[in-house]
Homo-oligomer: A and B are copies of this chain.
C-alpha cells in the first residue's frame, strides 16, 4: 500500500486531480505547502510529488522514500552531490514544448513585425507603414535539442526558417537542418539570425553563451534564453547590447530569481525580461504525467523521464 505526499506551494489542484484518478493501492495521500508542514505529516512516505527546492528540505527525513516526481523540468536543488541518490527522480518533459514555442516565436515576431514601434507610432498619431521583417528564410540556432528544442524546430520549420541544432551528440530531430557538437559551437553560432538557449543546467552548459559566442552573431541577431540563467555570461550580454552588437535579448531565466532590484538588466537597452513565465506548469498536464508514472510505479514498470543524477537531466 502506497503513501504519497504532495509538497508544493499550491497543492490543491494536484490533490483534486490525483483524488479523482482513483489510483490503485493508494493508502494515504497528504499535502503540504512547506517543508515544515511536511515534516508534521510523518516520515512514512515512499512517493513525493512536488517542487524540488521544497522536497530537498525533507529529503533526509523520509527513510522509506523510493520515488520523487518533480512538477518542473528543472531539478537542480536535488542534484547537489551531498544529497542522497537512493531513489528514482523523475522530472517533467514533453509538456513544455508547445508553450515554449509560443513564447520564443511570439517574441521573435514582436521583434520582426516591429510591434512596439507600431504601438509607439499609434500613440504619436503617426501612420507608420514602414516595411516589417519576416521569419521566412531566417536561420535559428537551438542550443539544446531535447523535447523543447524539438518543438521549437518544428515551429521554425512551419514558419519557413532554417534550423541549426547544437547538442552533446544526438541528431534525432528531423526539423534540424544542420547539427553541431562539442567544439563546433563557434561554427554553430556564426551568422545566426536568432539564438535560443534551452539547455539544462550542467557543468558543461555554464556560461556557454559568453563573449566569444555572442561575437559570432551579427548585429541584427536576437538572443532568447528559456533554459537556465547560469548558461549566460551576464556581463558579456550587457556589453553586447550596450554596444549595439546584438539587436535584442529576451531573458526568461536568471542566475538569481527574482532578479535583485539593483541588477543592471532592469535598465539594459533592448533587453526584455519575462520573469520565468515562458512555460507555466499546467497542473492538469503535470498530474497526468504523475498518474501515468504512478501506474508504472505500482505495476513495477520503468518510470518515464528519469533524471540521471550524474548527467544532471
List the interface of chain A (C-beta within 8 A of B).
Answer: 98-99, 101-103, 105-107, 109-110, 112-113, 115-116, 118-119, 121-122, 125, 127-132, 134-136, 154-155, 158-160, 257-259, 261, 266, 272-277, 280, 282
Copy tally for this chain in the complex stands at 2
13 A-B residue contacts at CB 8 Å?
A: A98-B136, A99-B136, A102-B112, A102-B113, A103-B113, A106-B113, A109-B109, A113-B274, A121-B275, A128-B275, A130-B277, A155-B158, A158-B158
Given contacts A110-B106, A261-B125, whether A272 and B119 have CB atoms under 8 Å apart is yes
A109 to B155, CA, bound (A): 14
Say how far A188's CB is from chain B's closest CB, in angstroms.
Answer: 25
Bound complex: CA of A132 vs CA of B103, how far in Å? 10
Q: Are B127 and A259 in contact (CB under 8 A)?
A: yes
CA distance A103 to B125 in the complex (A): 21
Across the interface, do B109 and A102 meet the contact criterion of CB distance under 8 Å? yes
Contact at B112–A109, with CB atoms within 8 Å? no
Complex interface: chain B residues within 8 A of A107 (CB): 115
Contact (A273, B122) CB under 8 Å given A110-B110, A159-B98 = yes
Closest to A107 in B: B115
Chain B residues, Cβ within 8 Å of A109: 102-103, 105-106, 109-110
Once the chains are docked, how many angstroms separate the CA of A274 from the CA of B127? 8
A129 to B159, CA, bound (A): 29
